[in-house]
Structure 1
Amino acid sequence: MKNRHESANVPVWAIEAVEIQKNNPKWLDKGAKERETLYKLLSPFGIKEVEHIGSTSIPHLPAKPIIDLMASISSMNQLKKIRDVLTTDGWHYVSPELDMQPWRRFFVKVKNDKRFAHLHLVKIGEKRWEERLRFRNILRANPYLVDEYTVVKNELAKKFRNDREAYTEAKTDFINRVLSIYHE
């Protein structure tokens, strides 16, 4: 049985293996720079917040070397114009049909045929906005959770090396457990 990528003309970055690298302190700087650039590009469209989320935003946490960013927007009415602006900065739009996450619009920034950054564009009020920020902040404040998540991520990266979606889905239990137990 073919997976959804085998029959399509898919760029190499879209089917990269899951590779976890030891934490790189430069990720925080890269996240800050990319966040600033995105804010400048997107503020004319009413975007007031851009956040560095995901594992690269958490000190000492190994991660895929991809800077995850999230921006909030009041409506998707200007999506075509946003896509045009982001394209000039090296971002690739992933359609909702391919992304399969209807709560967001997803962009990937590519450098040297590898994913460099992800942008999750979400509507203001989307519950995942708060969840992702809470999870990031909880891990930043709890080094023992960073250690536990490191073990989870490494095990799952081995198990799902060639299936990024399954890897991401498999982390959900840990993330939900942390969110249900810890409060800021």
Structure 2
Amino acid sequence: MRQTVQVVDYDKEWPKQFTAIKKMLNKELADSVVSIEHVGSTSVPSLAGKPILDIDIVISSMEEFPDIKRQLTNRLDYIHVGNQGVEGREVFERSYKDEFMAYHLYVCVWGSPPYRYHIEFRDYLRTHPEAVKEYAQLKRVLAVKHADNLMAYFHEKSQFVEKILQKK
């Protein structure tokens, strides 16, 4: 996967964008999901990150996935692109340009490893400002080092994430 890696300062618009997207999703999905969560770097105040929101639609079990998939694809015109190599997390893309900033949309089961990975890391960073500074610095260094190789960037920063999650 070759893409330019861009890490920018935290933007106070990110949570506003998430709230707008969540509101749009809730119109169709509110009765079918446990929650819709803002995860990833854009969900942590003051953390630098790629200007792309990460959003988890959380369901209670994979038995509910076919219905959620149908709602996302038929009602909201998303495209299901599989799990992208992460078991327990399904990825959806927009089929059209909308008014929102760039975002990744995931469906995962409450309590599953992908869900815990996203939520536990987010919550840890929200309560540990020293880790936010360290992570932001690492991401900026890696963005320069791997400016044209997104997978290498992800791989190296995931080592930091794993180290944090092992503390939990």
Shorter-normalised TM-score: what interval? 0.7 to 0.9
- Unaligned regions of 5+ residues in structure 2, if any? none
Superposition deviation, residue 102 in structure 1: 2.9
Query: Distance between the aligned counterparts of 2:87 and 2:74, measured in 1?
Result: 20
Superposition deviation, residue 92 in structure 1: 4.0
Superposition deviation, residue 108 in structure 1: 3.1
Matching residue of 1:43: 30
Superposition deviation, residue 41 in structure 1: 2.2
Moved over 6 A (4+): none
The number of residue pairs the alignment matches comes to 162
Superposition deviation, residue 158 in structure 1: 1.6
Superposition deviation, residue 151 in structure 1: 1.1
Matching residue of 1:154: 140
Q: Alpha carbons of 1:42 and 1:147: their partners in 2 closer, same or farther (altered >3 Å)?
A: same
Matching residue of 1:163: 149
Superposition deviation, residue 115 in structure 1: 6.8
Q: Secondary structure at the match of 2:135?
A: helix
Out of 105, 123, 128, the residue aligned to residue 137 of structure 1 is: 123
Q: Alpha carbons of 1:167 and 1:111: their partners in 2 closer, same or farther (altered >3 Å)?
A: farther
Whether the aligned pair in 2 keeps the contact of 1:20 and 1:62 (CA below 8 Å) is: yes
Q: 2:37 is aligned with what amino acid?
A: E
Whether the aligned pair in 2 keeps the contact of 1:39 and 1:49 (CA below 8 Å) is: no
Q: Secondary structure at the match of 1:24?
A: coil
Q: Identity of counterpart residues, as a percentage?
A: 27
Q: Alpha carbons of 1:166 and 1:33: their partners in 2 closer, same or farther (altered >3 Å)?
A: same
Please give the root-mean-square deviation of Cα atoms over the aligned residues, in Å: 2.3
Greater relative contact order (Cα < 8 A, sep 6+): 2
Q: Secondary structure at the match of 1:77?
A: helix
Matching residue of 1:11: none
Query: Distance between the aligned counterparts of 1:27 and 1:141, measured in 2?
Result: 19
- Unaligned regions of 5+ residues in structure 1, if any? 4-14
More divergent stretch after superposition (47-56 vs 76-85): 76-85
